[in-house]
Structure 1
Amino acid sequence: MTGHVSTAVNEDTCLSREQQLWRIKILVSTYFGYAGFYLVRKVFTICKSTLAAPVEEGGYGMGFEAVANIWTAYLVAYMLGMFISSFIGRKWGPRVLLLGGLGLSMVCNIVFGFANSYTTFLVFMFFNGLVQAAGWPGTVGAVSEWLRKNERGTIMGFWSTNYVVGNIVVKNLGGFLLATCSINYGGYMGVRYSFLGCTLLAFAIWWLLFFWQRNKPQDLGLAPIVDLEQKADRSVTASLAERVTFRQYLDLLLNPVVPLMGCCYFCVKFLRYALDSWLPTFLDLQGMDIGRAAYYSAIFDYAGLAGAIVAGVALDRLFKGRWERVCLLMGLGTVAGYLAVARFGANPYALAFTYGLVGFMLYGPDTLLCGAGSVIVAGERNAVAVAGIVNGMGSIGPIVQEQIIGRLMGGRDPLQAVRLSNLLGLSISVFFVIFMAFIAWQVVRLRKRQG
């Protein structure tokens, strides 16, 4: 293990030209790097219909139940992989996660491009989930030692829109290849070209990471940018050594604040994935036609992007790095949004806009808990581990919500089912506020103790 060396830095000094240039490279490469992870993650979701369709209709003949099992395997592996990635990233650095995770995920997608059987898809999708989990902890860890305290929230607020770009690119490129090649050569070839085409673009992004990403300025012979010794805003005491033992990692994992952040993120991901998966259906059942439902459901996402950016700016300008206060305030806003949903639930158009309020309030904590908050709570060097642990616990949410809401929707009057689902969302948002209030209380106690 590398011993601890003093890393005190004056963060008020100006960056050198080389530091500024490399910081731009780091932000650009990690922004597109995480988008690249989406290119080898989301193709499966746009190919579901073809994979499930009967062979005589040009599909793979798997059926929707088998397709659902494959994606469930991915979600479970992704959750488990987060804990593995958080340890690997803390021990060997974010670069190992980014290049290794994206590289192995590309291999899985090449296999998907030539696979025909359910078993092959199931096995390699599970493996793909494990290596895909390297993406977010790796990217957060990769920027943590390049951003100073007074700018971290604002920059990461904009930077955290990377997954939206990835989603847009994979839907457009993958969808174009799927549609065009299916028409010209049949459904089989459409799926193959969709997987392989997106993998080819991800391969180009892998090289961008290879040349432009470094874990910290010192790896390039530059002076450090951030003060690793600064402890004023930290709620968790953890090793600042470049590499840690498994025991030191467990100390971080078992610190009460970090699991509480994971519980908060479980609530956030439960709500976000529930609305991402079910909102068009809710609006359709409320009387809006399916085309308009798909269109109006996007209000949730666009409002969420604005909320993520506003939360980052507010963290720096108004709350001076007090991430837990921003999350608590926006958590209360999420509760207010769900109360508005319950109040205006009879009108599908009003419902769409009130869900926009929920999205605005929800995406702020979403980006802070696994972004700037993960950096602040235990320091820049531990950001990769905290982000992985928090995301790992949070990733249980998407698995659970699909099953719970699916059961609520089954065998009931549609309007009653939507109402029950909204009440569930309100309950989860209240739990989120309770968890965040407890974290805020813990942080206040720790700061008073530290003087």
Structure 2
Amino acid sequence: MAIPSVSPSQHRWQIQITLSLFIGYSAYYLCRSNLSIVAPLLIREFGSQGLNKEVLGQIASVGVLFYAAGKVVNGILGDFLGGKKVFLLGMVGAAAATVLFGLGQGVVVFFIAWALNRLVQSMGWAGLVKTVANWFSYQTYGKIMGLLSLSYLFGDIVAKLLLGQLLGFGLGWRGLFMVAAGVLAATALITWFTLKNTPESVGLEAPPVSPESLFAGSRSQTATSPASLATLLQPYFRSSAFRLMLVMSFGLTALREAFSFWIPTYLVEAAHLSESAASQYSALYPLLGMVSILGAGYLSGGWLRGQRGLLILAACVLLVPVLLLMTQPNSNSWLPVLLISGTGLLLLGPYSFLAGAMSLDAGGRQGAATAAGLVDAVGYVGGTLALWLTGTLAEHQGWGYAFLALALIAAATAGAALIFYRTQERPITAAAAAV
């Protein structure tokens, strides 16, 4: 299907909206990647108070649990209140919670501050997805979400390189948290001026909505806000395809959260790198993830003809041997770096489909934020368990057992992707080939 042309004015606004969302969501990660970067320093300073890898994993897990709960609530709020408002509230709230953590003096404050941080951070993606649904035609969802999915990896890379360099300059972890909060707050102020909620708010026409969304055929399918909570939620729980998306999100997010948080600590302990070097080398994981997103988008949209489940299946099958290699002890510092890079290449592209283009396809203009919120919420329940499990196993049994558990999660996710492909994608492909 041909992508409809847009007016020069609408095109300029779409560029501005895209840049605002990309830069804004990237900035979120300064107040999200910071905890994993300073984790070795926190363990060293507060170890006498009982802060070890197990407790730090619990702090991260509680944060992800609050993030998961916030995904549901803020996804619904995004569809009712609008993307811009939710996006900006999340930025301001995350900056404030980061300051609170930086002022903390013990484990209890760290638990509370990190939970609050992740709760408000869950507004970010909901606001982004809702804004995209308002501004872009459904024919361009794959392209625009592929681009915006790079934002969280770009933000993760910038955070690890910048904050890691600040550690190298001698800045303490408290100062690092204050810098992260200040940059995010400044970005929120700029975004307040540059981001617009809908095309109608600047005198432009709304883009066409997807005829294949779960709301297709309803009288209000072109509305930016749902009529009621019941009409918003019912289509999702009636869809077997959407339920399978939730299962895959559970597994892929579990893997992503475990790696995103524990890589710097793993590189310090397994590769014997300094904290500064571990932070900077860990940027290879999201850097290869950016390549993964671009490659996955190209493969799914071209060669695989939209069969995203098949690509998720292939990625999970290949992840299993990579994770099993990480269970083995080694004496070379380069091998752990190589393996975490390979994980980013295999994992992050397929992961980006679920709360991106697949959620937009399901929710359309009316329910996109809720679709993404539900997918991410279930995913981050998996992330919560994976963070706790990885930290506990690494503390008491060693990193080998931690990565063995992650390999089992990858294998189970491959099974769910196989079911999705055989029941949802293969029949459609066969029918199209028969025409």
CA distance in 2 between counterparts of 1:80 and 1:129 reads: 10
Q: Once structures 1 and 2 are overlaid, which stretch shifts more, 296-305 or 203-212? A: 296-305
The answer as to 2:247 corresponding to 1:259 is: no
The answer as to 2:19 corresponding to 1:34 is: no
CA distance in 2 between counterparts of 1:60 and 1:220 reads: 54
Residue of structure 2 aligned with 1:127, choices 89, 106, 116: 116
CA distance in 2 between counterparts of 1:421 and 1:180 reads: 32
Q: What amino acid is the match of 1:143?
A: V
Q: What amino acid is the match of 2:11?
A: Q
Residue of structure 2 aligned with 1:209, choices 157, 169, 191: 191
Q: Once structures 1 and 2 are overlaid, which stretch shifts more, 70-79 or 169-178? A: 169-178
Secondary structure, in 3 states, of the residue corresponding to 2:67?
helix
Residue of structure 1 aligned with 2:412, choices 407, 431, 435: 431
- The answer as to whether partners of 1:335 and 1:426 remain within 8 angstroms in 2 is no
Q: Which residue of 2 aligns with 1:77?
A: 66
CA distance in 1 between counterparts of 2:177 and 2:264 reads: 26
The answer as to 2:302 corresponding to 1:314 is: no
- The answer as to whether partners of 2:36 and 2:261 remain within 8 angstroms in 1 is no
Q: Which residue of 2 aligns with 1:24?
A: 15
Q: Once structures 1 and 2 are overlaid, which stretch shifts more, 117-126 or 195-204? A: 117-126
Secondary structure, in 3 states, of the residue corresponding to 2:74?
helix
- The answer as to whether partners of 2:63 and 2:114 remain within 8 angstroms in 1 is yes
Question: How many percent identity over aligned positions?
Answer: 24
Q: Which residue of 1 aligns with 2:375?
A: 390
Q: What amino acid is the match of 2:293?
A: A
Name the CA shift for 1:300/1:207 in 2 (closer, same or farther; >3 Å): closer
Instruction: Report the CA distance between 1:372 and its aligned residue.
Output: 1.1
Secondary structure, in 3 states, of the residue corresponding to 2:197?
coil
Deviation per residue, 1:73-101 (Å, 9 max, x gap): 32221111111111111111211210111
Deviation per residue, 1:183-236 (Å, 9 max, x gap): xxxx5xx61x333322222122112321221232122110123x11x324x467
Instruction: Report the CA distance between 1:122 and its aligned residue.
Output: 3.2
Q: Once structures 1 and 2 are overlaid, which stretch shifts more, 209-218 or 148-157? A: 148-157
Q: What amino acid is the match of 1:434?
A: G
Q: Which residue of 1 aligns with 2:51?
A: 64
The answer as to 2:348 corresponding to 1:363 is: yes
- The answer as to whether partners of 1:153 and 1:313 remain within 8 angstroms in 2 is no
Gapped runs of 5+ residues in structure 2?
none
TM-score (norm 2): 0.81
Q: Which residue of 2 aligns with 1:90?
A: 79
- The answer as to whether partners of 2:309 and 2:421 remain within 8 angstroms in 1 is no
Q: What amino acid is the match of 2:253?
A: K
The answer as to 2:150 corresponding to 1:161 is: yes
- The answer as to whether partners of 2:161 and 2:280 remain within 8 angstroms in 1 is no
Name the CA shift for 1:378/1:424 in 2 (closer, same or farther; >3 Å): same
Q: Which residue of 1 aligns with 2:211?
A: 231
CA distance in 1 between counterparts of 2:156 and 2:215 reads: 34
The answer as to 2:388 corresponding to 1:403 is: yes
Q: Which residue of 1 aligns with 2:132?
A: 143
CA distance in 2 between counterparts of 1:93 and 1:205 reads: 19
Q: Which residue of 2 aligns with 1:333?
A: 315
- The answer as to whether partners of 1:152 and 1:372 remain within 8 angstroms in 2 is yes
Deviation per residue, 1:269-325 (Å, 9 max, x gap): 122233345567778888x554698887665443322111111233333455x2xx1
Q: Once structures 1 and 2 are overlaid, which stretch shifts more, 365-374 or 289-298? A: 289-298
Instruction: Report the CA distance between 1:387 and its aligned residue.
Output: 0.8
Q: What amino acid is the match of 2:380?
A: S
TM-score (norm 1): 0.79
Q: What amino acid is the match of 1:438?
A: I
- The answer as to whether partners of 1:60 and 1:116 remain within 8 angstroms in 2 is no
Instruction: Report the CA distance between 1:60 and its aligned residue.
Output: 11
Residue of structure 2 aligned with 1:106, choices 86, 95, 115: 95
Gapped runs of 5+ residues in structure 1?
1-9
What does 1:177-188 align with in structure 2 at a 5 Å threshold?
180=169, 182=171, 187=172
Q: What amino acid is the match of 2:178?
A: L
Residue of structure 1 aligned with 2:232, choices 228, 243, 249: 249
Rg (Cα) greater in structure: 1
Secondary structure, in 3 states, of the residue corresponding to 1:32?
helix
- The answer as to whether partners of 2:83 and 2:131 remain within 8 angstroms in 1 is yes
RMSD across aligned positions (CA) = 3.7
Secondary structure, in 3 states, of the residue corresponding to 1:215?
coil
CA distance in 1 between counterparts of 2:125 and 2:10 reads: 24
Q: Count how many residue pairs are aligned between Structure 1 and Structure 2.
A: 420
- The answer as to whether partners of 2:71 and 2:122 remain within 8 angstroms in 1 is yes
